[in-house]
Structures are given as structure tokens and as C-alpha cells.
Structure 1
Amino acid sequence: MTAFTVALVLVVAAAGLLRWRRPAWYWLTFGVTLAALRVLIRYASVMDACGLTVPPSRWRLALARIADRPAPDSRVPRILRLRPTRTGLVLRLKLRPGQDAFDVAAAPDRLRHSFSMYGVTSREVRSGVVELRMTGYDVLKRVQMPAKTDPRPMRVPVALREDGSVHYRDYRAVPHALTLGATESGKSVYQRNLVAGLAPMDVALVGIDCKQGVELFPLARRFSALADNPDTAAELLDALVDHMQGVYQLIRAEQRISVAVPDADIAADIWDLPEELRPVPVVVLVDEVAELALFANKEEEKRRDRIITALVRLAQLGRAAGIYLEICGQRFGSELGKGITMLRAQLTGRTAHRVNDETSANMAFGDISPDAVLAAIQIPAELRGVAIAGDSTGGWHRIRAPHTSLRQAVNVCNKHADRTPALPVLEPFRPAVAAPPAPRVPLSKAAPVTA
């Protein structure tokens, strides 16, 4: 064999090995070029086969008859831009008159097969312009977050979407959220990513973990308040309601509405206040909401009603006061008692990992997207961390959070422990943590063993 043949065989073997063992590396080295060429070469025939063309206009047909020429072909959407990414390709199309974005949204499986890509999703950028995001490999099989993300105040990158984009938890856009997941579904890892992302920010973290604190108390150095039983949780939630009332009084005192005050300077929430007066925002994480809603006697029922009432009040009124809820649980249904459905209505963000029953998926997405319900109940047990994320607009995405061990989350919280704000109203619930142990130093050095 010639040197060229040997080199070609080595390149093909290396490409095959990378595609099998490291699909991300294969995509960046070989896949992106081959896929771009494949899309450009097949584009017209694929659009025609998928029914995404329009007949030629009347004036073109008339011109062809006058000139005695063959009838022009059907027109395909015009390519505005083809941009490679670290996980696939982004194809932006300009639709022809008479076409609709729903036509493209109904053909992702056919486009995926025709372009030999792993996945295709579409979204309408503006009127007449559609963006196709195509992934070259299964990005959720081994999640690798990009080195550069776009975190902002109260906006945390927590997972990767199946189209290769980053999934953010934006508290200012979606103040309250519900996260469901059965045992070993990856819900705890998602929560750790959330806490680790919030730890470097100027925010007060409040945790309620009725499993004796086994999930949240290891992260206690970064929490301003923690409760490990329903009785303490009831008192903590009452304290948060009092804090909310105090913040509203501050906003009311700083409004000073008069003719001379511009509309943009009128304060309606904490983000409209001057920075030196702005109270620190609070994120409340409830690890298992069912433990707060269950009761066995009349006394516990009164406590349960008190807890649910406080949660509903925080969900209804807390956004303007900078209080955001993150409700987690294995099961969330109407059998948890009165007030649960009212609480769910205030939780705009919905994330469902693998669930044990269809009813839980319906409670998460039944009122916003039946397709998301079907996708949630189809998550296999072996894919821990895969979840369906949606909101009240009806849109949903398949996501997966990168694996974060408890030790990694603890290290992040310990590193940013100095950023933990001390709120007077939450001081009675501040976790008592001991100083980190000093490294052990041997008192004497062992002598080497000699023969």
C-alpha cells in the first residue's frame, strides 16, 4: 500500500474510534464538515420530499409559457444562514409566501432521517423565519456543559437540552417552579446543580428538608435557614411571610409617586429599588413537599393547613418581594389535600424526571402540554437525570443535568460560605455548623524500615 492509502486508513480508523468512544470529539473534527456538506447537497430534494415547497408563482409560469420554456420547479425555503455549533448545526430559513412555521415543525423526524442527523427541532424566530437546530449525536448520553455560559443575576445554567443548548433556571422570568421525580430519577442531582449555581450569587438560600436533612444539611454553610421537620418548617414559612410583608412596606415607602417621578423609576418590586436599598432575594427549596402535606391526626392537620397556606401566599405574592419557590417531590397530586391544586397553579416552571405513574406527569404538564405528559412517562429507568422541562406557554424540552456529586456541591457551598446573608427574621433558623476540621498532622514521623 502507498503512504496515501495508509494515511487514509488511519484517518478512517481514527474517525470510527472517535465516533464510538468520543462522539463530541468526532463531531468537532470530522462530523461537522460532513454534515454541512450533506445538508447543502441534499437540501432541495429533502425539502421537496418533505412537502416543504411551494408551487412557482403565476408570473413565473406565464413567463415560461411566453418564452416556450419548461415550467419552473417548486420553490424551497431560502437558506439565510448555516452555522456549526459544538453539538450540531443551526439552519435558519426564510419561508416562502404561503408557508407556515407549523409546516416545518411537523416534519422534524423526516428532516432528521433525510439529513442523517441525530435530532432536529424547530422554532419560529420571527414572522416568516424559522430556525432548525440539528444535533449530530446524543448530547444527553454524556452531558458536557459548554465552557462558556451566560449566567446573569438569578439565572443559573442547570442542564443541557437535547438540541445542544443550555437550559437556564431564570428566577426573574419564572419565579416559582415544581420539580418531580421518582427515587433514583436524578432529581437530587438537578437540585445540587441548582444550589451550586446559586451559591456564588448574592442570594439567601432557605431549605426545607423533612428527610432529617440528609439532602440539604451537608450544604448548610451556604444556607441562611434550614428546617428538617414539619414543625420547624411551619415556623420558618411564617417567618418568610413576615419578611415578605416587611419588604412590601419598604417598596411602598420608596415609591414616592409624583408627577416629577419618571414612570421607569416607580418601584413595583425589589428590582426597581436602588441597589443600596434592595433586599437580598430569597430562594426557598422544599425537598419533599409531600412530607409537609401529610397528616395523621387533628393536630398535624392544623399544622399542614398552616404550611400549605403559607406556601400558597408566598407563591402568589412572593415574586415582587424577591422570594422564589423551588418545590420538589416524588409525588404531587390532589390527594395531598386542599390547597395543593392552588399551589400548583402558581408554579409556572415544571420539570419532571422519571415518574412512577401517569397522574404525577399529568399534575406537572396536563394543564399546559399533553405532549410533555407523554414524553415524561416514556423516560427509561436507566437514563437517570433525563427530564422534561416546560412552562405555562406550552413549550417543553428534554434536558439532562450534568452529574454533580454531593461532595462537589459541598465544596462549592463551602467555598462561597462567606456570601451567606444574615437576615434577622431568619436568624433563629440558621443552621449551626462547626468549623471545618483542620488537616491532621502526625506528631512524629515514622522511621523507615531497614532490613
Structure 2
Amino acid sequence: MGPVLLAFALAALAWLLVAGSALRERHPVWFWYLTGYPVTTVRVLVTWRRVAQFNGLTVTHKPSRRIVGDLEVRGEPVRPRAPRISFPRATPMGLSLVVRLHPGQTPGPFIAAADALMHAWRVHGVRVTSPERGTVLITATARDPLERPGLASAPAELLCALVGALESGGPWVIDLRQIPHWLITGATQSGKSTLLARLVCQLAPQPVALVGIDCKGGMELGLFGDRLTALTTSRREAVAVLGALVVEIQDRMRACRAAGARSIWELPHTARPMPVVVIVDELAELYLTDGTRQGKAEAEQCSTYLLRLGQLGAALGVHLVVAGQRVGSDLGPGVTALRAQLAGRICHRVNDPGTAEMTLGDLNKDAVAVAQSITSQEKGVAVCTGTEGGWDRARSHLTTTEEARKTASAYAGMTPELPGVNRALKAPAGGDSA
């Protein structure tokens, strides 16, 4: 019976390995719950005290010096005590636990020890936050959730766009009603254009006017020409269209004032003007000049118009989505002023630390470091601002050229007219329309 039992055991082991591999491939969440979570939980509970001691996360109630006779003896603190932790709670992508800090402890050392915890627990990543005083929340992700982001569901609301997946496994949603203006940065082939394409595809079925400004000859936004109310391919055209939009928001202000409303969303549905989303691809093309008087005048007009739209547009249904490879103060003070109006920030892989700092530095220094660590292989991965003031790693869903064309064609009949914008685009040389 010995050889028979051995053969049966080997066959059972082989079957478990094959089944486990198939489960991991097809249902990674269930594989994590059934195998990864129990093993990692044991590893966390067994190693916590030692990891805390090695990384200076412990305290001691014994003094580090004593008087022995006439001598004062000093040494390392004895009997170190690690702070208490809660039992690890499973999440679809990993686990989380709460640390109760001892009096005098701060979250700083725990944040610095994130890499040590990641290696000790053999997980993909560890993030440490402090949701309330006296506690630290440690969130571990078992695998990279952005490696194969799945399609999630998002609220079907006006000006909401499902553009990808968050590192937490949830949907990555750009909600222009909640955060009205966005700045998107990224180097060539980092995923910036894919994100813009995905955003337009999500907004195309909605009753919104889409205005594209693509001074690279319309190579990117030209794919959506059938669905765009207006598309500008030069700075002169951009000046005319942006000026017309400034006139548009002035008209909307007068309508709101006459109705006693503070925004267009307080107007009756029948009197409410259609929201407008202005998408600028490559911001630097609007600010860089060739040194001529006309070039400088156009750049100043673009800067002024964009700033006015950013300051006044949120309540009047005019939203900005501004993208660029290089965004820095060297483009002029107008860029810095405009950035202050763009509360939503998305930073892909960038070629210089200044752009990452310009995008995320005024919000969170940790986010800048994470954005700079994105590699060229992580296409579509970005660091984005969260809805509650934090930040997340995220990845946009791929939108192919063919999909972009089909979407624009399918919803071409929903393209609204903006008379002032259309007139300005037909006669861009007519001067300042504002």
C-alpha cells in the first residue's frame, strides 16, 4: 500500500498545484482569501515584535540609566515593548491593521519603516497613514493591483468619467462636479494621451459640450472631431475660442444673477446651460513664444483666458482639463497662477523632477516621490489626488485609436452648438472676442 499511497499523495499535490495556479490566474481575489491572507496574517503576527524592535518602533518602561553605588550606568533601553496591533483584516487586495501608539510615539517612524514591513511580510507594498491621533493604519497590498486593472463600475452621473482603476482595487473616477478643473502631466508614452482619450470616450455619451485645444496639429484630439463642438489646432485659434468661452461665462453669470442663483446648478433644468469641458493637450504650446510681438501677445491672452476660466468656470459649468509633458515655472508666472486653480492633479512618469514637484508638490511631498518612482514599463500608471485630500496610485484603461474613432462617430449626433465659440473659430483673426 505504501507505493499506492505515495502515488495518491503526489497526484493530490499535483492537482492542488494546478488548481491553485488556475485559481490565482482566473480568480486572484479568491486565491488571496483562501491562501495568501492566512499565510500573510501568520507572518505579520509572528514578525511584528521583532520588526518593531529593529526599526525603532518600540518603547520601554525601564530607564536607560541607573545608579549603582556611586556610579551612573547608562545603556540601551531594556525590555522593549512593541505597540499593540489589531488582528489583520482582509481586503480584496491585501490586509490592513491598526497600531495603537504608546504615549510619546508619533507616526513618523512607522511611515519610515514601510519598506521594512513590506520585505518582512513579503507583500507588494505597504502604506502607512494616521487616520486619527494615537493610531496608525498600515495597509499592505499582496500584489500589484495595477498590473491588470479590471473594469469596475462607476456612478452614472453627469460629468463623471470612469478612467481606470485605483491601487486599492476601486474605480478611478474623474468627477468634474466635485473637482471641476484638472492638471495632467506625463512624458511621451507615459499614458497621458491614453487617459485623455478615455476621458473623452466617457464624456461623449453625456449631454456636455467638448472643446479641444490641440496645438500639435490635432494629432491627439482630432480623433474625436465628430464629437467635439470645437477643435483648435493653433494658438491663434485657441485665443479666439478661449475668448469666446470667457464671453460665455459672463453671459451665464448674468443669467444666474437675474435668477438669484449662485451657480447654474441652482437654475431650473429648462434654463440651465449645457456644461462645457475644455481639454487642452500640451499646455506649453500655448505659453512658449517665438519672441515676436504677436507671439507674446497671443501667449498672454491664452494665459489670461485660461486663468479666468479656472477662477470663474466651476460654478458656471465650464471645466478645464489641462495636460502637458513639461509644466514648470519657466513657462511664466501664468502657469503657476493657473495651477492654483486646478485642484485635481494627475502625474504620470515625467522626465524631470520639476514637473512632478509642480504637479503634486503643493499637495503632498510623498506623492512626488512616488510619482518619480514610476518606471517606463508602467504605462498608464499615475499618481492622482483623491476625493478626500489624499493621493492614490492608479492606472488608466487602454483606449485604442479605433475605439476612439468609433465612440466619436457613435455620439456625433449629441454634439451641441456653442454659437459664440463656433463664430470665433470660423474667424479667429477677428481680434479679442472678449
Asked if Structure 1 and Structure 2 have the same fold, meaning a TM-score greater than 0.5 normalized by the shorter chain, the answer is yes
Quick one: distance in 1 between partners of 2:60 and 2:158? Answer: 49
Give the superposed CA RMSD.
3.1
Residue among 226, 230, 235 paired with 2:240: 235
Quick one: distance in 2 between partners of 1:429 and 1:225? Answer: 10
Residue identity matched to 2:147: K
**Structure-2 change in CA distance of 1:303 and 1:391 (3 Å):** farther
Q: 1:191 maps to which residue? A: 196
Q: 1:82 maps to which residue? A: 89
**Structure-2 change in CA distance of 1:97 and 1:384 (3 Å):** same
Quick one: distance in 1 between partners of 2:44 and 2:417? Answer: 59
Residue identity matched to 2:247: D
Q: 2:144 maps to which residue? A: 138
Q: Indicate if the aligned counterparts of 1:143 and 1:402 stay in contact, CA closer than 8 A.
A: yes
What is the 5 A alignment of 1:188-337? 188-255=193-260, 267-296=261-290, 297-337=292-332
TM-superposed CA distance for 1:158, in Å, is 1.5
Say yes or no: does 1:407 pair with 2:402.
yes
Quick one: distance in 2 between partners of 1:90 and 1:157? Answer: 25
Q: Indicate if the aligned counterparts of 1:161 and 1:400 stay in contact, CA closer than 8 A.
A: yes
Say yes or no: does 1:357 pair with 2:352.
yes
- For structure 1, the 5+ residue unaligned runs are 57-70, 256-266, 432-451
Q: 1:63 maps to which residue? A: none
TM-superposed CA distance for 1:17, in Å, is 6.5
Q: Indicate if the aligned counterparts of 1:118 and 1:135 stay in contact, CA closer than 8 A.
A: yes
Residue among 380, 383, 386 paired with 1:388: 383
Quick one: distance in 1 between partners of 2:377 and 2:43? Answer: 36
- For structure 2, the 5+ residue unaligned runs are 1-5, 62-78, 427-434
Residue identity matched to 1:167: W
Count of matched residue pairs = 398
Secondary structure in 2 matching 1:325: strand
Q: Indicate if the aligned counterparts of 2:246 and 2:305 stay in contact, CA closer than 8 A.
A: yes
What is the 5 A alignment of 1:339-378? 339-378=334-373
Say yes or no: does 1:15 pair with 2:44.
no
Residue identity matched to 1:366: G
**Structure-2 change in CA distance of 1:273 and 1:343 (3 Å):** same
Say yes or no: does 1:28 pair with 2:29.
yes
Q: Which moved more, 1:154-163 or 1:95-104?
A: 95-104
Secondary structure in 2 matching 1:184: coil
Q: Which moved more, 1:321-330 or 1:41-50?
A: 41-50
Deviations 1:414-446 (A, max 9, x none): 223333222332333689xxxxxxxxxxxxxxx
Quick one: distance in 1 between partners of 2:213 and 2:86? Answer: 53
What is the 5 A alignment of 1:413-428? 413-428=408-423
What is the 5 A alignment of 1:52-131? 76-79=84-87, 82-85=89-92, 88-91=93-96, 93=98, 95=100, 98=103, 105-124=111-130
Secondary structure in 1 matching 2:308: helix
Secondary structure in 1 matching 2:17: helix
Q: Indicate if the aligned counterparts of 2:223 and 2:408 stay in contact, CA closer than 8 A.
A: no
Q: Indicate if the aligned counterparts of 1:77 and 1:96 stay in contact, CA closer than 8 A.
A: no
Quick one: distance in 2 between partners of 1:366 and 1:158? Answer: 23
Give the % identical residues.
Answer: 35
Residue identity matched to 1:77: I
TM (normalized to structure 1)? Answer: 0.78
Q: Which moved more, 1:310-319 or 1:327-336?
A: 327-336
Q: Indicate if the aligned counterparts of 1:334 and 1:341 stay in contact, CA closer than 8 A.
A: yes
Deviations 1:54-97 (A, max 9, x none): 889xxxxxxxxxxxxxx9x9762334x83442xx1343547467
Q: Indicate if the aligned counterparts of 1:227 and 1:429 stay in contact, CA closer than 8 A.
A: no
**Structure-2 change in CA distance of 1:392 and 1:142 (3 Å):** closer
